[in-house]
Amino acid sequence: MKRSLIMKLFIFSFFVLGLSLLATAPVMAGVCGDGHKDVGESCDWGANNSDTKANSCRTDCRNPYCGDSITDNGEVCDDGDNSNYEPLRCREGCTLPRCGDGIVDSGTRNNKPYSVHDEQCDDKNSNNDDGCLNSCKSCVMLGAVGNIEITDDTNICSGEVKLDDYGDYGTIIIKRSGITLNCNGAKITGEGRGVGIMIFRSNNVSIKNCEVYGYEVGIKGEDSNNVTLTNNRLCGNSIADIELEGATQMSGQGNVCRKPGAWNDTGEQGCSQQILICNPPAFALGTMKQSFGKSEALKNMPQVTAQKNMAPVAPLAGKIKAGVKMAPVAVKKIEVKPKQRQWSSPITPKK
């Protein structure tokens, strides 16, 4: 009897000890790739785990994520490390390079999806007057360079600027065929003399989105063919807003002016819209409303030549001389006789 009780107590104690050992034993973690989602695993597809297939559980039992070098659902691209912000690289959030992200992308991406980018600048702001347009194209800040000669496609930064045509042959001179000048709404105001924009012996030229005020002639073409004017605004120019000289042929549409001269917009005399009352921009002499903040775009600014305006262009100077006849001036010689000095009598001091 006593032995039987001792045996029962021994068995009970062993049972309790086994339960305690079982309760305190560590839980063994599963193996990634066994097909069971265990503790610490986001997924486990077993043999279907893949680091090369889109939208698959990865071989480290993680769900697909931006930065795993695979373009999954909701991602446009994935180059692995997407935070370097290098040109043509996939950006954070697995999005493609874009104009306005602060990185100048030019060329073709090597990784899929392929995309072509043609940015000249990218300053990550919405200003169009600081040397870089919203289209990521460089623009010329007229207030910074003064009068210019253009020999390539050129964008002008928006804003208002006062430029005097000292030489009477153009603040902006186009001297090459086959180019486009886009002012992007810039307002150019003169001081009552000269020409705003001159097209000189250049064919197949396009001028658009320019506002020109306060010159003798706003836009002038001289011996230039196939010039197209589009969406320009001109008024306050004393002789004509648009003037054709020599064998010039110009056409266009959407232009607004006050004094069209001989200009035929869309085949009819005058501009598409006539300005009845001209109110050009008014600002103090010498002030300019273009931004002069530092910009990476200035490094990529189109090549323009600053015009010193010290003497007229040779062909125009010849015409000026040819059209002026100097009449001889008769000069009458006048003899001036020296004035004789008159001496006064000496003054006798009083006693």
Q: What is the DSSP letter of 6?
A: H
Q: Are strands 256-257 and 227-230 parallel, antiparallel or unpaired?
A: unpaired
Print pLDDT tens along the chain (351 aa). Answer: 555 666 665 566 656 555 565 455 454 557 999 999 999 999 999 999 999 999 999 999 999 999 999 999 999 999 998 877 889 999 989 999 999 999 999 999 988 899 999 999 999 998 899 999 999 999 999 987 778 999 999 999 999 999 999 777 899 999 999 999 999 999 999 999 999 999 999 999 999 999 999 999 999 999 999 999 999 999 999 999 999 888 788 888 999 999 888 787 877 778 888 888 887 776 544 444 554 444 444 444 444 444 443 333 344 444 434 443 444 444 444 454 544 444 444 444 444
Q: What is the pLDDT of residue 41?
A: 95
3-class secondary-structure state, position 158: coil
d(CA 156, CA 142): 7
**Identity of residue 168:** D
Phi-psi region of 184 (alpha: psi -120 to 50; beta: other; left: phi over 0): left
**Residue 6, token pair as written in the block:** 């001792």
Q: Would you state the pLDDT for residue 1?
A: 56
Nearby residues of 239 by Cβ (< 8 Å), 6 or more positions away: 216, 217, 259, 261
Q: Are 186 and 158 in contact (CB under 8 A)?
A: yes
Give one word for 85, left, alpha or beta, with left for phi > 0 and alpha for psi -120 to 50: left
- Residue 87 near residue 74, CB atoms below 8 Å: no
d(CA 111, CA 235) in angstroms, rounded, equals 52
287 by Cβ neighbours in 10 Å (0-12 / 13-18 / 19+) ranks as exposed
| Cβ 78 vs Cβ 94: under 8 Å | yes
Task: Say if pTM beats, i.e. exceeds, 0.85.
Answer: no
The residue assigned the tokens 């066994």 is 34
How many Å apart are CA 71 and CA 53, to the nearest integer? 9
Euclidean distance between CA atoms 148 and 73, whole angstroms = 51
CA dihedral (12, 18, 20, 23) positive or negative: negative
Helices H, strands E: what count in the chain? 3, 21
C-alpha to C-alpha distance for 169 and 166, rounded to whole angstroms: 8
What would the pLDDT profile of 279-290 be if each residue is shown by its tens digit? 777 654 444 455
What is the rounded distance in angstroms from the CA atom of residue 160 to the CA atom of residue 184? Answer: 11
Please tell me the predicted confidence (pLDDT) of residue 229. 94
pLDDT at 269: 78
pLDDT computed for residue 42 by the predictor: 95
Element (H, E) at 120: none
Residue among 208, 148, 162 at smallest CA distance from 183? 208
Domain assignments of the chain as residue spans, ordered by start: 144-292+303-311
Rounded Cα distance between 17 and 315, Å, is: 113
CA dihedral sign, ordered 48, 49, 53, 54: positive
CA atoms within 13 A on the CB side of 160: 14
Cα–Cα dist 348/341, whole Å: 21
Contact 240, 218 (CB under 8 A): yes
For residue 316, give the H/E element and its range: helix 314-322
Query: Residue 95 contacts by C-beta under 8 Å, 6 or more apart in sequence?
Result: 76, 77
Q: Extract the tokens encoding 27.
A: 């839980």
Predicted local confidence at residue 147, as pLDDT:
86
**How many residues are present in the chain?**
351
Task: Quote the CA–CA distance of 250 and 231 in Å, as a whole number.
Answer: 14
pLDDT of 161-215, one tens digit each?
999 997 778 999 999 999 999 999 999 999 999 999 999 999 999 999 999 999 9
